[in-house]
Amino acid sequence: MTLERAEIVLPARGRFDLRATVLGPGHGPSPPYRWHEGRRPVLERAEELADGSVHLLRIRPEPRGVVLEVTGRDAREIEVLAPLAARVRRALSLDVDLADFHRTCRADPFLRPLARPGLGRMLRGTSAFEDVVGMLAGNDGSTQAATGTIGRLVRLGRRVTAQPGLRAFPSPRTIARAGVSRLASLVGLGERASPIVRLSREIAAGRRDLEALRHLDAGTTARALREIRGLGPLDVARLLLVLGHLDQAVHDGAARSFARRALGGDGAPLERWLRRQAPWRGLALWLASRPADPDVAVPLRPGRSPEVPARRAARRTGHGTPRSRARGRQRRRPAS
């Protein structure tokens, strides 16, 4: 099979930083993503289309957004390139304009550092199915344990010819065929396997459409998520934020700890602080309560940037600020 390669520039709305999106507070790259640090950092993953073809996606920073490089069968064809570009736009939240949020940050001592590096976007899956399954797979352990579980789940996905070491996130049909016992034992999901397989079978049979959630308001989306077996109240709150409802606050342990440490209490003081952050309450609380480097637990004080631990880690490993070249048009070339 002949592989083709195509490149396209995906512009972002407003200020965008690929490194801050991938490594920002409260999240980080987990399978099927791979992050390669360096002077020219690259985010890559394998992606399966509806026809079963699997393509290698490599994403590099570009002054206006990112450059998406696609390698695979018929990669030059618009029928292939367009849906892959749309999925990457979703994953990186390129269509979200955070200019108003950063203005809100500048008015608050605990959020002011966030405005400078342009934080706020979250690295998501390329589909709502991936986001929901990721929540179901990792909702009862630490971030490290959840990443390991999702990594084992991704082993069920299809390999990409351009880089056989990478696999795509498994489709609903693939997970449905795997069954509960295989996911419980080989993947290590235990009792979480049942709701994941059930959801996958519902989607594969056309009884549930998670992609339709992007067209719903927060209340309707929350009701739809609560109907999914295995999702608790905190899972629903986190998914609302991931799905783009940025005014929905997640009152988890990290948020309560931030409120007690920085605001003097997680009751009325937190609610007063949240009212000042509308319509960005969820995003503001998520970012303020989580350091950029989860391995470095440091108190958040006014004027302290959550990016400080990440910058220190970068200096220790010798990685500096990324450099990228402007590319103003779509570029295509056959794979060598």
Gap between the Cα atoms of 281 and 30, Å rounded: 26
Average pLDDT, stretch 51-58? 96
Q: What is the pLDDT of residue 118?
A: 76
For 160-201, the pLDDT digits (tens) are: 999 999 999 999 999 999 999 999 988 888 899 999 999 999
Domains of the chain: 4-242 (1.10.340.30)
Task: Record the pTM.
Answer: 0.83
Mean pLDDT, residues 283-294: 77
Distance between CA 122 and CA 107 in Å, rounded? 22
DSSP 34: E
**pLDDT category, 26, cuts 50, 70, 90?**
low
Strand order through the sheet with 34-36: 34-36, 42-48, 54-62, 65-72, 4-11, 331-334
Which residue, among 218, 226, 67, has the nearest Cα to 135 in the 3D structure?
Answer: 226
What average pLDDT is seen over the chain? Answer: 85
Distance CA 49, CA 322 (A): 31
Give, for 176, the enclosing helix (H) or strand (E).
Answer: helix 172-185
Mean of the pLDDT values across residues 303-311? 37
Confidence of residue 312 (pLDDT cuts 50, 70, 90): very low
d(CA 270, CA 260): 8
49, 137 Cβ separation under 8 angstroms: no
pLDDT on residue 334: 47
pLDDT of residue 39: 87
- pLDDT digit string, tens, across residues 97-152: 999 999 999 999 999 988 877 789 989 999 999 999 999 998 544 466 677 889 99
Cα(53)–Cα(85) distance, integer angstroms: 15
* Cβ-based neighbours of 204, under 8 Å, separated by 6 or more: 172, 173, 176
Q: What's the distance, CA 105 to chain centroid?
A: 22
Q: Helix or strand or coil: residue 102?
A: helix
pLDDT band with cut points at 50, 70 and 90 for residue 263 = very high
pLDDT beyond 50 at 88: yes
Measure the CA–CA gap between 309 and 296, rounded to whole angstroms: 7
Residue 243 Cα to chain centre, angstroms: 10
Closest C-alpha among 169, 176, 132, 178 to residue 151: 169
AA identity, residue 84 = L
Task: Mention every residue, 6+ apart, whose C-beta is less than 8 A from residue 182.
Answer: none
